[in-house]
Chain A
């Protein structure tokens, strides 16, 4: 019997893997849904923030990973989304769930508007333009004529919404489900986009722009649209972030945020959609880990961890996660196989 089991574990068919994958999927669903009921509020808050960053990173991934346009300015779109939500909730008494699509729409437009002139810029020149955008955004947010809406340097404080329909959930738990639901929708859309003809066009533009336009792809339109869609994703994340943190201020959206999103993108895996979740978790938790290791040298420790991650997984964590997951699935599939077939 033991030899049988060892053989089975060593081999395992793809049928086992599919069975195991389904079990794994169900298990993860249980964990995702059950998490807010067993974890402390603080952990729920952190996971919510990680998912929010993951959505923002997904936006960046669409632009940089799939379309090859280097952006260091996504903190600006995150800020626009966040401030849209805050201003609507604070000054126009709009319900929080409407602010999210509105933030997305506004970012879609601004992203597209930025993408148009950016068409002329490639590689490092585009990097500078986005760099400039990220740097300029806090200053714009502080601009005195805009103060009645943006709160200027003081920022805007908003209230976390309660669960609707009198559900027995505290605000943290409700926000978690709200965020996860939106994330699920956004991820499905992203997967669909990437697998569609448009998605292939995006990748074609990244890999060989000349060939792509020779094949009839309107590169200008696609590139600008991608900028817009990418900004939309990050803006939605920004709106959710504003609701989660309950505060927006210019200091929350500095260039450091852009760097963080970028790091999350690469760590998760450029061009990998599930990798963005890994990226989000990474940028949320690693600074805390680094701080625990050494208070005075937290930055240095974080940098070393980052270098280690890149060395071990130069193309990002997604590949590794997929490998582990498939092995795990195979094992589970073998173990739970009913009866004693084979």
Chain B
């Protein structure tokens, strides 16, 4: 019996020791030591949204660059990025892993609306910053209810508003047909446009599609048949290219508004056909990498040099790389502003204290600004028209700010 008991106790102890993986002792500032800062990130490196994985890779390259120059205030960035395959349960698992197992300081630029929604409550309950989420959903600007969550890019609804104002100005009698992705992102854009129009224009067709649809041909046929002469194209890159091509094939030439998400010349317009894309309208807030008018711009040259040295296999014509570069710069700015106080409280405080920050790859006039009541860092955008070669910006830099959900 004694043997029995000893054996059992031994097994339990062994089991217990094996199970409790002990990480570095967490101080008051989790994820921070004298020499490093642990930053967590969740990206869809596999699955239907895997095209956005480049963003994570660009950010990793940028942090490499920062580390080679000595890091931030003497601390190197340890960038831990996990794959969630765009599946919310997996995002929850990875977020918990980052916070509870890897003990990161914050989670930065995690991608996707349903995926970020899944972890929003958890992050706020645990008081871990969910900074600069990679989605334009409007609900991230809600410091009262979710003080630990902050967006970054201009919200989709704000963009919809801008299109609405434009339409009311140039074609108020137009009939609008909308093609939208049947998810949070698509519906957010549609809401923005509708709110902005406030019923003053006629929407003759509102046609959704699923990411699991092979083609959107039948949707395009329905749109053309509806008699619309304004086309609001809320699609992700692959489907945007298909839509532009199909419209040209059907000889349908509406006033074509393309959402910013798919405005990449290399990623969308070239495959669709540059001729087919002439006359398209969109809003921009960043410098388009394929725009030759930036070739002498020093900030642009800096980005090109960065890509060549730290991410040479990255696609410089892909807007996502410029995006990742700019968001990473924003985070570095926040960390710099924290100085030696890298507590999570101070990180959020500094994130909510960005004063007219200019970033190299943002358009001139577009600045990053936050305050304790304003969790939308970038609100400004400018309309642009595609002239067959590049996006030509026109009109003023507009502020389409929206708050709350």
Contact = CB atoms under 8 A, between A and B. Distances in A.
Interface of A: 23, 26-27, 30-31, 34-35, 38-43, 45-46, 49, 135, 138-139, 142, 152-155, 157, 159, 241, 245-247, 249-252, 254, 256, 287, 291, 295-296, 298-299, 332, 335-336, 338
Contact of B118 (A26, A138, A245, A299): A245
Nearest to A242: B89
Contact of B16 (A34, A152, A296): A34
Given A27-B8, A256-B85, 8 more contacts: A30-B11, A42-B101, A142-B182, A157-B120, A245-B88, A245-B118, A247-B121, A291-B82
A38 B3 contact: no
A247 B21 CA distance: 28
Contacts of A45: 93, 96
Contact of B87 (A26, A49, A139, A251): A251
Given A247-B92, A251-B87, A252-B87, A298 B45 contact: yes
B114 interface: yes
Nearest to B100: A42
Contacts of A23: 4, 7-8
A247 B117 contact: yes
Nearest to A19: B4
Given A30-B8, A42-B100, A43-B19, A154 B117 contact: yes
A332 B10 CA distance: 13
A335 B121 CA distance: 51
B293 interface: no
Interface residues of B, number: 43
Contacts of B83: 291, 295, 298
A55 B89 CA distance: 17
A296 B83 CA distance: 10
Contacts of A43: 19, 21, 101
A123 B155 CA distance: 48
B12 A42 contact: no
A40 B20 contact: yes
B69 interface: no
A23 B100 CA distance: 34
Contact of A135 (B3, B4, B121, B212): B212
B291 interface: no
Contacts of B90: 287
A245 B89 contact: yes
A153 B20 contact: no
Interface string B200-219: 00000000001010000000
In the A-B complex, the 6 residue pairs with the smallest Cβ-Cβ separation, listed nearest first, are A42-B100, A38-B16, A247-B118, A249-B114, A153-B184, A39-B19
Contacts of B82: 291
A338 B184 CA distance: 66
A10 B24 CA distance: 45
A187 B278 CA distance: 63
Contacts of A287: 90
B16 A249 contact: no
A305 B171 CA distance: 58
B395 interface: no
Interface in B317-368: none
Contact of B184 (A31, A34, A154): A154
B225 interface: no
B124 to A, nearest CB: 11
Interface of B is mostly: helix
Contact of B114 (A155, A241, A256, A298): A155
B308 interface: no
Contacts of B12: 27, 30-31, 34
A295 B43 CA distance: 11
B83 to A, nearest CB: 6
A38 B88 contact: no
Given A34-B12, A39-B20, A155 B212 contact: no
B170 interface: no
A35 B45 CA distance: 32
Contacts of B184: 153-154
Nearest to B137: A154
B139 to A, nearest CB: 9
B129 to A, nearest CB: 19
A156 B296 CA distance: 49
A335 to B, nearest CB: 8
A252 B115 CA distance: 9
Interface string B163-190: 0000000000000000000111001000
A295 B83 CA distance: 8
A35 B11 CA distance: 13
B4 A336 contact: yes
Contact of B86 (A41, A153, A251): A251
Residue in A40, A298, A332 whose Cβ sees the most chain B Cβ within 10 Å:
A40
A27 B183 contact: no
Interface string B303-316: 00000000000000
B33 interface: no
Contact of B93 (A46, A295, A299, A332): A46
A249 B118 contact: yes
B387 interface: no
Interface in B89-141: 89-90, 92-93, 96-97, 100-101, 114-115, 117-118, 120-122
A142 B212 CA distance: 14
Nearest to B53: A296
B112 to A, nearest CB: 8
A151 to B, nearest CB: 10
B227 interface: no
Contacts of A336: 3-4, 7
A299 B114 contact: no
Contact of B97 (A42, A152, A338): A42
B96 A241 contact: no
Contacts of B100: 40-42
Contacts of A256: 47, 85, 87
Contact of B117 (A35, A49, A155, A241): A155
B92 A249 contact: no
Nearest to A152: B187
B15 interface: yes
A190 to B, nearest CB: 24
Contacts of A245: 88-89, 92, 118
B250 interface: no
B66 to A, nearest CB: 20
A26 B4 CA distance: 11
Interface in B6-61: 7-8, 11-12, 15-16, 19-21, 45-47
A296 B7 CA distance: 44
